[in-house]
Structure 1
Amino acid sequence: MPNFKMPTPRKRPTSDFYWIRKKVPEGLRALVGKTEIWASLGTKDERKALIKIGAVNAAIEADWDRLRKGCSPQREVVPDPFKLTHQDLHALRAAEHVEIRNAWIKDPPNGFRKLQMSLRDDETLRFDAQELLERGGYEVSVENIELLKPLLVRARNEATKDVERARSGDYALSADLRGVPQRTTPALDFVREFENYATKGGLKGGKFGPTAKRWRPKVKAFCDFIGHRDLKRMTTADGYKWIDHLVEQKFAVKSIRDVWIAALSATAGFMVERRKLDQNPFLRLKVREDKSEDDVGKTQQQEPPRKGFTLEEAKLVLTATLATPSDLISVEMRAARRWLAWLCAYSGARVNELTSLYPGDITRGPGRIWCMSIEPSLEKTAQWRVVPIHSHVIAQGFLDYVEERRKLNKPLFYDPDRSRGGKPGNPQFKKVAERVSEWLRGLQIMPSGLKPHHAWRHLFKSVARDVRMDREVEGFIIGHRPKNSNAGHDYGDRWIKTMAAEIEKYPRFRISALYLPAAPHKRRRPAEAKASAARVQKGSEAARTRHSPPSSA
C-alpha cells in the first residue's frame, strides 16, 4: 500500500464544490506540466467529499507512480510560456473579478459561504494566481505570482461589493471593467490549438502519434517565421510567403504540400469546424513546381529512384540473418535479426506491424493454415487484417520460437520488462526495428538510398506482379486499397485459403547457408583494427622519412 498523506477537502471562491489540492512532486513537474493540481470532488456535501477524496487521491498517486516508472503514455506536450506583461496582469485581474462575481451574484451567499467568497489568505491567493497563470499559458514563477497576488485581492474586493449590492437588488457594478485592456497573448493560439486538434481532431495516433510528432515542429516554425502565434491574424498571404521561403530553402514540393502546409490547413480547418475561426486561411494553397527548361532537361535525364531490393541484394540480407549472433545481445534482438527480414519478404508487411506482434497474434486459421493477425496501430495500418505465413518461414522453425515466447507470455521481438520508459510516440517495438536497421547498415551490404525494411515491401509488389498474383488478393495481404476501388472492393469475406494460395506463389529464396551448420560468432573489433591500421601507416611514414634525401638549404 503506497504511503501518502491524505489531503483535506477544500473550498474555492469560484465554486460551490469541494476540491482536492495536491503539490506535484519536484521530480515529476516537467512531465505533469504543473507544480500544483486541483481536482473537483463533484459534491457540495462535506461528508461526501471526505468519502470521495480518498479514491481521487489514490488515483492521482497511482498516475504519478506510473510516471515515475516511465509507464505512462500521457506525457503532456507543453508549448513555450508567454511573457507576462503589465497589461496581461490587469486583464487577469478583470477575468478573476468577472469569474467570482458571476459565480455568486445569482444567489448571494450568507454566513460561511459569504466568507468563502471573499477568502484572501496568502495560500489561497498563491494557488489561484498559479492557476490563472497556468490557464493563460504564462510562466508560473515566484516573481509572476507575487505580481499577480495584490491584483487578485483587488478583484475579490470589487467582486464582493458587486455581490453585496445584488443582495439588496442593486445590480449596478462597483467597478467598470470596460476600460481594462485585453491580454496581449493570442486570441487563438495556433501552437496550443494544434495540441487540441491532435487530441480531438481524429489525427492518426493522437497527440503522441507519428503524424503529430512530425507536424508539431512545422506549426511552431511557421509561427516563428511570421512572428506571432495568433491564428485569427494569419492570412492566405502569410501562407504563400511561407511556401516561397520553403522553396528557397530547397524543400521538396511534395514535402511542402503534404507536410508543411497540410499541418497548417488541417489545424485551421478543425478550428473552423469548432466555430473558433471564421475561415481557413490555408485552404487550397497551391505549391507549384519550377518547370524551367533546364530543370525539365535534367528531369528527363535522371533515372527513376529504386525503392526495392533486387533478388541478389535480398539474398545477401537473408544470408546475413542466418549468421550466429553474439551472446551479448538479448534473445529478442537475436530473434528480430533472424526473423524480421524473412517475415517482411514473404508478407510485404510494414516492419512495425511485425515488431509489435504477440504470440497470441500467431494462430491457426481455417484449414489449419498458420496466420498472423495485424492490428491497427500508430502506423499506416488502417484496419485489422489476417495474413497467412509462408511455408518457407514455417519450415525454418519460426513457430518453435513463437511457442517459446507464448510460454513466457511476452511479445515476440521485445521484452516490456526492459523498457526504459521512452516517449509514447516512439514505443519499444519501433526501437527494435531501428536497431535492426542499424545492424544491417553496419554490415555494409545495404545499397545506398534504400530503407532496410521498407525495401522488402516494394520487392514483394515486384515479385507479386512477376508471378501473376491476383491484384485484389495481393492488396488484402499487404494492406493496400486501390485508389480507384469502390464499395464493391469490400464485398465478400477475405478467405484465408485464397490468400495462402497467392502467398505460396511467391518463390522460395534459395539460401545456401540454410543447409550448412551454423558458424561460430566472430566478434568484430573495429577500434582495434583502426589502431592497427594507424600503426602501419605511421610506420610507413617513418620509413619514407628515413630514406628520403635531405632537403637543400
Structure 2
Amino acid sequence: MKAVKGYRYLYRRGDQLYFRRRVPLNARAAFDGKEEVQKSLGASNIAEARHLLAIEVATFDKMIADAAGKPVADAVRQIVPGKQASAIEMEEAVRKWLSERVERATNSELAPTNPGDVQQLWDGLQAQVENVKQGIGLGAGQAAITTTWLAEDICAAEGWEIEQGSSQWRQLVRLLGRGQIEANSWLAADLNGDARTLQDTRFAPEQYRLDEQRQVDRSASVPVSMVALLERYLKEREVAPATEKVWRRHIAHFVAFLGHDDAARVRLADVVAWKEKLLDEPTDGGKRKSIRTVRDSYLAVIRSVFSWAAGNGKIAHNPAAGVTVGGKRKPSIRDRGFTDNEAGLILSATLTPPPNRLTPERKLARRWVPWICAYTGARVNEITQLRAEDVKNERGIWTIYITPEAGGVKDGTARTVALHPHLLEQGFHRTIAGKSGPLFYDPALHRGGSEGNPQYKKVGEFLARWVRDVGVDDPNVPPNHGWRHRFKTEARRVGMDAETRDAIQGHTPRTEGEGYGNMPIETIWAAIRKLKRYKIAGP
C-alpha cells in the first residue's frame, strides 16, 4: 500500500484508494483494540476519493474526540482546513438533507396503526419543533442538540471548516432549524391526512430544480481528461496491445487538434472539424486518408470512448454520436485475393535459397509462413506467432493451435486447424521437430519495443515487403492478407460448407446456433484435404 503524495491518510493499493490511519493508544478501545484503521473508499481516482476521504477523516476524528472526552467540534474543524461554504452551498446541503429525511420517514416512521402510537408520534414531532424553535429564536443561547448534530454531520460530509459559534455556524444552524421545522410540519400533515403546506420558500420545488441545474453546470465545468477516459476504457475492455497502440495514437491526435484534454468541453462542431481535417491532411506517404480509415478507425475510437464515458456518467453526452463520413465507396478494381499467377510467384520464391544475412527464424518464416497461410487462410500474424508447442499430432492428424496465449487473435478465441497433406509432404512437421518456443522469431533479439508492435508483427511486415520484392506489387491486393481472401475462394471452389470454412479461418459464426459446440478436428481435416494442392516446381 503506497501513500498518495499531497494527501494525509490516503493510500493506493493496485487501482483502489484507501483511508489508512493509526489509532492512538488511549483510543483503541473505541476501535475494538485495532492499532490501525484501513478502509477502501471504493474509488480509483483522487477526484472521486477526496470527498469520501473527508468523511472518513471526520468520522475517525469524532470517534477519537468522543474517546478522549473532547468537544465534537474539535474533530469537525480538522476535516479540510480552509474549506468554507457559501450561502447557496449551505442551502443546497440542507435541502438535500430535508428531502432525504422526509423520504426516510415516509418509508418507515409513518406506518403506526395503533391510535396511541399515532398520537405519540404526533406529540414527538410537535415537541421537536418547539425545541428547535427555541434554539434558533431571538436571543437563543444554544441550538437544539439535534440541530447541532445535523450541522456537524453536514460539515463532515461536505468537508467544511466552520467554527462553532461563528456567524457562518449560526447561519447554518438557523437554516437547518428551519429545515427541521419544515420536515416535521410535512410529516405531521401526512400523519393527519392533510395537504402539505410550504412554510419557507427556500424549500420550494423550484429551489430543488435550481439545485439540480447548478449540479449539472458544476459537473460540466469539471475537466474530464480524455486520456484518463481512454485508460479506464482500455482497462475494462482488455484490448490487444496493437489495438491499444492505435487508440492511444488517435486520442493523442484529437487532443493535439483541440489544444486541450477536456472531454467535458468537446462539442459536436469540434468532432466535425476534426473529421474534416483528417480527410484533408496528407499521410506520411503524401496521400489523403481514405474515407474508410477516417470513419472506421479515427472516428470509431472517439465515438466508442465517448459513448462509454457518457454511459458511465463521466460526461453528460457523447458529442461524436451521429457524426458520419460521406463520400463514395472506393471502387473495387479487382478481387483482394491472390490470382493463380501471384500465388505461384510467392510460393515458388519460398523455395529459393534465402540470403545469408537473414536470421534462421526469418529464413524459416520466408519458407513456411506463406504455405501455411495458403492452406489455412489464417491471418499472417496468427502464423508468425506460432510456437513449436502449437504444432501437434492429435489422434493421427497434424494440427496447429492458434491461440491468444502466443500473441494476437482478432476475436480472442483459440482454434485448432488441421495441416494440409502437402505441408506434411514438404516436411514442415519434421523441420520444426525438437524446437521449442516461437518458430519465426527469436525472443532473445527483442529490443524492448512497444507491445503494440511485437516481434511476430514485425515478421509479418518483413514478409509483406518480401512479397512486393518478389513481384506481387499490385497495390489493390494486400501482400499477406491476399492469402486469406484466396482461401475463401478456393474453399468455395471445392464445395467446403460455409460453417466449416468460417471455423477454419476464425470468422464469427453467422447465426447464434452456429456458435454452439465445437468444430471436430476430423471435420476440419476432411475439409482441408479437399483443397487443391499448389503445384510449384522447386529450384
Deviation at 1:387, TM superposition (A): 0.4
Q: Matches of 1:341 and 1:190 in 2, distance apart?
A: 41
AA partner of residue 227 (structure 2): V
Q: Matches of 1:303 and 1:362 in 2, distance apart?
A: 37
Match of 1:14 among 8, 27, 38: 8
RMSD (Å), alpha carbons = 4.3
Check 1:281–1:158 CA distance in 2 against 1; reply closer, same or farther (3 A cut). Answer: closer
Instruction: Say which SS state the counterpart of residue 512 (structure 1) adopts.
Output: coil
Q: Is the 8 A contact 1:193 1:267 kept in 2?
A: yes
| Structure 1 match to 2:253 | 221
| Structure 2 match to 1:354 | 383
| Structure 2 match to 1:391 | 421
CA deviation vs aligned residue, 1:201-225 (integer Å, no higher than 9, x gap) = x1531xxx22222222322333333
Report 1:19-168 matches (<5 A): 44=22, 104-108=57-61, 158=82
Deviation at 1:104, TM superposition (A): 3.6
CA deviation vs aligned residue, 1:450-496 (integer Å, no higher than 9, x gap) = 322111111111212222222221111111235xx222212453122
| Structure 2 match to 1:188 | 224
| Structure 2 match to 1:323 | 352
Q: Is the 8 A contact 1:14 1:103 kept in 2?
A: no
| Structure 1 match to 2:447 | 420
CA deviation vs aligned residue, 1:256-306 (integer Å, no higher than 9, x gap) = 221122111111111122211222122232322269xxxxxxx8xx66244
Check 1:283–1:203 CA distance in 2 against 1; reply closer, same or farther (3 A cut). Answer: farther
Q: Matches of 2:261 and 2:246 in 1, distance apart?
A: 19
Q: Matches of 1:197 and 1:255 in 2, distance apart?
A: 21
| Structure 2 match to 1:364 | 393
Q: Matches of 1:12 and 1:264 in 2, distance apart?
A: 33
Q: Is the 8 A contact 2:374 2:484 kept in 1?
A: yes
Instruction: Say which SS state the counterpart of residue 465 (structure 1) adopts.
Output: helix
Deviation at 1:349, TM superposition (A): 0.5
CA deviation vs aligned residue, 1:223-252 (integer Å, no higher than 9, x gap) = 333443221222223333333333444533
1:468 aligns with 2:504: no
Q: Matches of 1:370 and 1:353 in 2, distance apart?
A: 17
Unaligned runs of 5+ residues in structure 2 are 25-46, 69-78, 84-147, 156-160, 169-217, 282-287
AA partner of residue 498 (structure 1): T
Deviation at 1:186, TM superposition (A): 5.9
CA deviation vs aligned residue, 1:390-419 (integer Å, no higher than 9, x gap) = 0101111111122131xxx32211222222
Q: Matches of 1:475 and 1:417 in 2, distance apart?
A: 35
1:344 aligns with 2:349: no
CA deviation vs aligned residue, 1:158-197 (integer Å, no higher than 9, x gap) = 58xxxxxxxx999682699xxxxx9999611122212221
1:511 aligns with 2:536: yes
AA partner of residue 239 (structure 2): K
Q: Matches of 1:270 and 1:10 in 2, distance apart?
A: 28
Taking structure 2 as the reference length, the TM-score comes to 0.60
Check 1:45–1:410 CA distance in 2 against 1; reply closer, same or farther (3 A cut). Answer: farther
Q: Matches of 1:342 and 1:353 in 2, distance apart?
A: 13
Q: Is the 8 A contact 1:14 1:100 kept in 2?
A: no
Deviation at 1:254, TM superposition (A): 2.1
Q: Is the 8 A contact 1:203 1:211 kept in 2?
A: no
1:437 aligns with 2:472: no
Tell which structure's C-alpha radius of gyration is larger: 2
| Structure 1 match to 2:313 | 275
CA deviation vs aligned residue, 1:97-135 (integer Å, no higher than 9, x gap) = x89865543333989xx9xxxxxxxxxxxxxxxxxxxxx
Q: Matches of 2:455 and 2:352 in 1, distance apart?
A: 25
CA deviation vs aligned residue, 1:359-379 (integer Å, no higher than 9, x gap) = 22111223x111111113534
Q: Matches of 1:106 and 1:187 in 2, distance apart?
A: 29
Q: Matches of 2:505 and 2:496 in 1, distance apart?
A: 12
| Structure 1 match to 2:205 | none
| Structure 2 match to 1:230 | 262
1:374 aligns with 2:402: yes
AA partner of residue 438 (structure 2): P
Q: Matches of 1:41 and 1:410 in 2, distance apart?
A: 46
Q: Matches of 2:5 and 2:377 in 1, distance apart?
A: 60
Q: Matches of 2:4 and 2:476 in 1, distance apart?
A: 62
Instruction: Say which SS state the counterpart of residue 477 (structure 2) adopts.
Output: coil
Greater alpha carbon shift after TM alignment, 390-399 vs 270-279: 270-279
CA deviation vs aligned residue, 1:430-451 (integer Å, no higher than 9, x gap) = 1222222233333445434432
AA partner of residue 273 (structure 1): G
Match of 2:273 among 210, 218, 241: 241
AA partner of residue 194 (structure 1): L
1:261 aligns with 2:306: no
Check 1:247–1:275 CA distance in 2 against 1; reply closer, same or farther (3 A cut). Answer: same
Q: Matches of 1:392 and 1:290 in 2, distance apart?
A: 43
Check 1:477–1:269 CA distance in 2 against 1; reply closer, same or farther (3 A cut). Answer: same
Instruction: Say which SS state the counterpart of residue 497 (structure 1) adopts.
Output: helix
Instruction: Say which SS state the counterpart of residue 355 (structure 2) adopts.
Output: coil
| Structure 2 match to 1:50 | none
Q: Matches of 1:278 and 1:290 in 2, distance apart?
A: 34
AA partner of residue 251 (structure 1): K
Q: Is the 8 A contact 2:10 2:18 kept in 1?
A: no
AA partner of residue 307 (structure 2): G
Check 1:441–1:501 CA distance in 2 against 1; reply closer, same or farther (3 A cut). Answer: same
AA partner of residue 249 (structure 2): P
Q: Is the 8 A contact 2:389 2:437 kept in 1?
A: no
Q: Is the 8 A contact 1:204 1:378 kept in 2?
A: no
Q: Is the 8 A contact 1:232 1:277 kept in 2?
A: yes
Match of 2:433 among 394, 400, 403: 403
Match of 1:501 among 526, 530, 533: 526
Q: Is the 8 A contact 1:158 1:174 kept in 2?
A: no
Q: Is the 8 A contact 2:354 2:363 kept in 1?
A: yes
| Structure 2 match to 1:310 | 339
Match of 2:242 among 210, 214, 217: 210
Percent identity, aligned pairs only? 31
| Structure 2 match to 1:285 | 323
Instruction: Say which SS state the counterpart of residue 440 (structure 1) adopts.
Output: helix
Q: Is the 8 A contact 1:15 1:103 kept in 2?
A: no
AA partner of residue 256 (structure 2): D
Instruction: Say which SS state the counterpart of residue 188 (structure 1) adopts.
Output: coil
1:487 aligns with 2:529: no
AA partner of residue 373 (structure 2): C
1:197 aligns with 2:222: no
Q: Matches of 1:468 and 1:410 in 2, distance apart?
A: 36
Deviation at 1:502, TM superposition (A): 1.5
Unaligned runs of 5+ residues in structure 1 are 1-7, 21-37, 47-91, 115-154, 160-167, 177-181, 292-298, 517-553
Q: Is the 8 A contact 1:14 1:99 kept in 2?
A: no
